[in-house]
Structure 1
Amino acid sequence: MDTNTAANHAYSQSFGAYNINAIREYLKNPTEYMSNLFNTEYNKYSEALIESVLREIDEYYINTKDNILNGIPEWNKLFENYDQLSLSKFFHYLSGHSNSQEYNSLREAVPKYDLFEILKDSNNLLGSFIIENPVDFCNLLCKSLIESLTNMQTTWINTERFIKKERIQAHLETKNTLMSYWDRLGCSARCPLCSSKCELPDDGHTQHQVSKHLLPAFTGVCDVKTRFPTLIICTEDEAHNTSTWGCNEDSIYLPLTKFLSKYHPSWLPFPRSEPSDEHVAKMRAIWWKLKDELCEKYDMTDNTNPLWGPRYENLIPE
């Protein structure tokens, strides 16, 4: 996930989802919110990945034992006409790698229960031995394999599974290095008007970028004299044409471009575009929900258009 995608994802999980608690966290500190969001989702992904790997091993023991038990009747039918058999040929029969006529007459396709991977090393070492009574030997071998697999499975469940889980977790934590982690969070600069976080990598760039600008009032921007909250999105024409901006009460308030040129040149050129109706509605609905607590927090005087309530408040899910 690149930083642009990460920033947009953080927006979608907070403002985009009308998640009021997440919005509060975003407004408090977008970078910290992104960090917490990333950690939460990465932990979920890691846990799902680890459980998937461990479940494959769990299923291996179960399926291997089932395959052996299900294969015994078929193998016994293969061996019932033999008084003796070389171990090498015996293993070929069990593994489905024999080309004998008897074998092919019993099996028209590749066998379902194939022990080749389990037995190939034993075949290399012991293939020249002669087996007396192959049926009994097959039953004894299968019993021994089942017992061994059961013991291995018990050890896996009681001890090895936990150890393997810890090792995979450690590997994933190491892989998720601090450098790659901060690369995902990107630049920590925030729009000087609405405090939306820059979505570019932390690569020393000289011009910041934000796709989703907010209402400046969300972070306490208001008229210095009336204390009325600034309820326009900072890319709107009104922000460029009629509003003036300053750093504090003692500042000389300037038109937007001059203000940025003097105090925040890395945010120039600043975008100028009318936001979509959907984005405006979203910002107004969220403001209506949070306006009382934000006005109290930043000592603003609420002069919100009362028509915003019936028009937008239903957009916020209960």
Structure 2
Amino acid sequence: MPARLAILADPMIAVLVVATALAVLLPATGDARSAAQIVSNAAIFVLFLVNGMRIARGEIARGLVNLRYFVPLLAWIFGVMAMIGLGFMQLAELALPPLVALGFLYFGCLPSTVQSATSYTSLAGGNVALSVVGAALVNIAGVFITAPLFALLGGGEAVEIGYETIARIGVILVLPFVIGQAVQGWTRDWIVERKARIAWLDRGVIGIAVYVAFSGAVEQGLAGMFGAVQWAVLIGLVSAFLAIAIAGAWLAGGALGLARADRIAFLFAGSQKSVAIGAPMAAILFAPEMAGFVIAPLLLYHLLQLVVAAPLASRLARTPL
């Protein structure tokens, strides 16, 4: 399939479209929303349990050894990208609803993708092994870093990270991952053999989280808050954010003196953002009537990063020098 059509083959796009459409047409409200939130939390628990089972402890150890790549990648994703998100939030506040503007800071603090960043690194001729390990480590770090970093940079406008929020993150995200790591000696082979089916678990959980979040936003009048001008501003800002992320990650990799294959891995890990972490975490951090507004920029960014990544990877593969 031509690179420019690769996005059409990504099932995640269909899942996001269906979840959003269902939320618009049949939103979960009242008691139904409470029940849907319980289902979403349970599904997120299972997802992170499986993540703990499938990320090998040896991969984590190998990644930690490559400090020349991993430390700058962490600094870029949770430092530079977070600050860019803060700047775009302040810019977006001039034209967009406050919670939607806050979404720029939120996805700026998120870790990078695993599956798509690795796939495009492979397509571009980059270091796939480094991409897999680096993305896995960044996502593990994101479980611990994203929420407090977001609260720190967002101040009073962001979610308050109190004991209750910490407890929810611990029980729904950290605990199942630790359990998965502890039992992976007995379960990892079974999980790896069913990789394709497990991928649908990822998509299903994300779809549920997006549905619950957007149901709350629809109930609060999301559709009526956006006119043509607001949509143009949102799309323009998300596009500019992505352009800065891609150019910055590529230049940062060059400044670090990384080999071309490693630089390509840094590019995709450093510029892409994970809806697989972002949607479930938003369901934990925010009330449903808030979460849909906050993740709106993330979902648009996810779509645009896939649109851009395929032709970019193809171009890098054709220009090996």
The one of the two structures with greater contact order (alpha-carbon pairs below 8 A, sep at least 6) is 2
TM-score computed with the length of structure 2 as normaliser: 0.18
Structure showing the higher helix proportion among its residues: 2
TM-score computed with the length of structure 1 as normaliser: 0.18
Q: Which has the larger radius of gyration?
A: 1
